[in-house]
Structure 1
Amino acid sequence: MSFSCTSPNGENQSQNQGSSSYLDFSNRDDQFEGGIRMIPIKTPKGEFKVWTKRVGNNPTMKVLLLHGGPGMTHELYSCFDGYFPSEGIEYIYYDQLGSYYSDQPEDQSLWTIDRFVDEVDQVREALGLNKDNFYLFGQSWGGMLAMEYALKHQDKLKGLVISNMMSSLDEYEKYAKEVLGPQMPAEVFEEVMEIEKNNDFENPRYEELLLEHHYQYHVLRMPLEEWPEAVMRSLKHVNPNVYVYMQGHSEFGITTGATLKGWDRRADLKNISVPTLVIGAGHDTMDPAHMEWMASEVQRGRYLFCPDGSHLSQYDDQKVFFEGLIKFIKDVDNGSF
């Protein structure tokens, strides 16, 4: 079955010849729950289950969505429902181990990059994803995980998308403190840095300052009261035990002692040969110039810039984001990339 955006007369093809089969769950092993599967994952600490939900059928375009955090949820991608089905692209929501809809073991030894990479590969295998159909999309921490997966398993991939994630956490911290922080009123940034210096992250003033002066400018460029319900739900469902252990408390870098501190894959990008889309945004917490550079470092890269977007550019620069993402997936699929 083939899909395209429009037919010669401009009509939507998914409605003409694809929509009934695209949404058909008949004879699928996930028909009983409408695409939901709890996939068993083997770990050094035993077997656990992770939550997935497939939407659509397409034999050559299947996109696995890796959420950020660590410890956030698939709910950040609810807006994909508004764009992928009409293009005939199959996609899979997925909560990583420790996230809200999946099992949440408390053993911190599970929260390592290597184990998460192994988990993604187990999910891939369970879903029947392979080099002929498997696109891996990762945003923020999910982008880091996607890079790590590609560096180990790119022979299983058809396409890779790194969204809103730099390849060096030291460079991310530098950008946050030297570029983004000074965009705040001087006295506000000084107070934020003082709280961080004192490791006083439980101070309600810290979140208060970030909500007013940072989040609605660089995480999602909308007044807080207008943030999408799905985003608020994901924030409500975050697992702080995973997030703090790996990332730390700070919004201006990785807290000393957090396990991701010092992560850097700049020198390894040249080893990624699979078709790769890197998405950056003009108001992101991540440096868009660095992400443009990343697209030039991988062997077969493309850069998508969302000028009005921030860290969640799938919402605040939605048209540019989805047009570019869909074009990449289809260009790879039809061999024109």
Structure 2
Amino acid sequence: MAPRPSAQGTVPFGECRTWYRVTGDLDCGRPPLVVVHGGPGSTHDYLLAVADLAEQGWPVVHYDQLGNGGSTHLPDRGAEFWTVPLFLVELDNLLRALGIADDYVLFGHSWGGLLAAKHASRRPAGLRGLVVADSPASYPLWRQEMKALRDALPPGVNETLLRHEAAGTTDSDEYKAAMMPFNERHVCRLKPWPREYLASYYELSNDPTVYFTMNGPSEFHVVGTLRDWSVEDCCPDIEVPTLVISGRYDEATPATVRPYAELIPDVRWEMFEESSHVPHLEEPERFQRVLAGFLGGLRE
């Protein structure tokens, strides 16, 4: 279980509120690690284990992006509202509100990795380092790789998925059941799924507005507004030291992750051999060592 938060609450974001949680002391003299969750439309819960770094003296900030979790929900807003710039502005607003915009490190997971990379490419003066975890650099690449992963599923599974996708019945129980072999291979290989992972899973299910709008009905059927988005063009503009993390069985396959390693000037790529999309849960001890080592290197 992650350490107890030292502070939590909400900060104003226009007419809305962004929920946050701080573990550790923001005034300890070390840059806080700000955790940007995936989805889009998930919550911070499945990444709570990152807060263990507070026990080693690194303050950690989690937050729920607008539309989910403890932040303001806006189920009636359409696709024109849910944009990448919205979430970039929300992140900037949070950093300023917490008084950490002049000294921080970003950890972005999955969709959060693309968002963090885009933020870093703007070269904010206070950013000290970047961690991109289990994140594709391009959704077109992601879609290409999804086809290969789906084709390798047990006989009949992909056919069931394709049938429901063509019919527009992706909310059916049969479609959801057919998703499970993929999720168990490429999203989280632990059995049973950890409580914190399930918490985010259920939160997203309770309000899928952002996920359905920007992503689509499932991890491997990206038909939302992000379907053609990429950060490959801005990776060369990232100046800070960058750690890239991915799992051997990750739905973010090596082909989708490689652009980060090839295009970011100061980058290191760590592959977790026993993990899929959540190495912080699947290989927690090695994850903590790698992340703590990276943060320690920033100080040096």
TM-score of the two chains, using structure 1 as the length reference: 0.82
Classify the secondary structure of the residue corresponding to 2:122. Answer: helix
Return the alpha-carbon distance in structure 2 between the equivalents of residues 198 and 154 of structure 1: 45
- CA distance in structure 1 between the aligned counterparts of 2:219 and 2:22, rounded to whole angstroms: 32
Match of 1:128 among 88, 95, 99: 99
Q: CA contact under 8 A between 1:220 and 1:310: conserved in structure 2?
A: yes
Distance 1:262 1:282 in 2: 25
Q: Which residue of 2 aligns with 1:294?
A: 260
Deviation track 1:143-188 (CA, whole Å, cap 9, x = no partner) reads: 111112112343331111111111110111111112x112212322
Deviation at 1:312, TM superposition (A): 1.3
- Check conservation: 1:69, 1:140, Cα contact below 8 A: yes
The letter of the residue matching 1:270 is P
User: What's the secondary structure of 1:227's corresponding residue?
Assistant: coil
In structure 2, C-alpha distance between the alignment counterparts of 1:274 and 1:307, rounded to whole Å:
26
Contact 1:130 1:158 in 2 (8 A): no
Partners of 2:225 and 2:257 in 1: how far apart?
A: 23
Paired residues for 1:51-130 under 5 Å: 51-57=19-25, 58-81=28-51, 83-105=52-74, 106-108=76-78, 109-130=80-101
SS at match of 1:39: strand
Amino acid of the structure 2 residue aligned with 1:230: E
CA contact (8 A) 2:243 2:294 kept: yes
Q: How far off its partner does 1:111 sit?
A: 1.0
Contact 1:170 1:253 in 2 (8 A): no
Q: Check if 1:201 corresponds to 2:202.
A: no
Gaps of 5+ in 2: none
| 2:281 matches 1:315 | yes
Give 5+ residue unaligned stretches, structure 1.
1-21, 24-32
Deviation per CA, 1:192-236: give whole Å up to 9, x if none.
22222222212211110112x11111110022xx11111111111
What is residue 246 of structure 1 aligned with on the other side? Answer: 214
Q: Is the 8 A contact 1:172 1:253 kept in 2?
A: no
SS of the counterpart of 2:73? coil
- Tell me how far apart the structure 1 counterparts of residues 147 and 116 of structure 2 sit (CA, whole Å): 25
Q: Any idea what the Cα deviations from partners look like across 1:75-113, whole Å, max 9, x if unmatched?
A: 1112224x3122111001101111121111232343110
> Which letter maps to 1:88?
G
AA partner of residue 134 (structure 2): N
Higher normalized contact order (CA 8 Å, seq sep 6+, divided by chain length): 2
* 1:271-286 equivalences in 2 (<5 Å): 271-286=237-252
- Looking at structure 2, the residues matched to 39 and 307 of structure 1 have their Cα atoms a distance apart, in angstroms, of 39
| 1:237-293 residue CA offsets vs partner (Å, 9 max, x unmatched) | 1130111011011332411xx111200222321111111111111011111244244
Aligned partner (choices 214, 230, 247) of residue 264 of structure 1: 230
Aligned to 1:232: 198
Q: Which one is further off, 315-324 or 138-147?
A: 315-324
- Residues 31 and 104 of structure 2 are in contact (CA less than 8 Å); yes or no, is this contact kept in structure 1? yes
The runs of at least 4 aligned residues of structure 1 exceeding 4 Å deviation read none
Q: CA deviation at 1:321?
A: 1.9
Q: Aligned AA for 1:316?
A: E
In 2, Cα distance between equivalents of 1:252 and 1:237: 19
Check the 8 A contact 1:220/1:316 in 2, yes or no.
yes
SS at match of 1:206: helix
TM-score (norm 2): 0.92
Aligned to 2:159: 190
Amino acid of the residue matched to residue 112 of structure 2?
G
Distance 1:165 1:54 in 2: 24
In the aligned structure 1, how far is the partner of 2:6 from the partner of 2:267? 35
Percent identity for Structure 1 against Structure 2: 28
Structure 2 partner of 1:38: 10
Which shows bigger deviation, 153-162 or 321-330?
153-162
Please tell me whether the aligned partners of residues 196 and 250 of structure 1 are also in contact (alpha carbons under 8 angstroms): no
Distance 2:188 2:197 in 1: 9
Q: Any conservation in 2 of the 1:282–1:309 contact (CA below 8 Å)? A: yes
Report the RMSD for the aligned CA atoms in angstroms. 1.8
**Cα distance between partner residues in 2 of 1:287 and 1:228:** 23
Q: Could you tell me whether the CA contact under 8 Å between 1:277 and 1:295 is conserved in 2?
A: no
Note the C-alpha offset of 1:34.
4.2
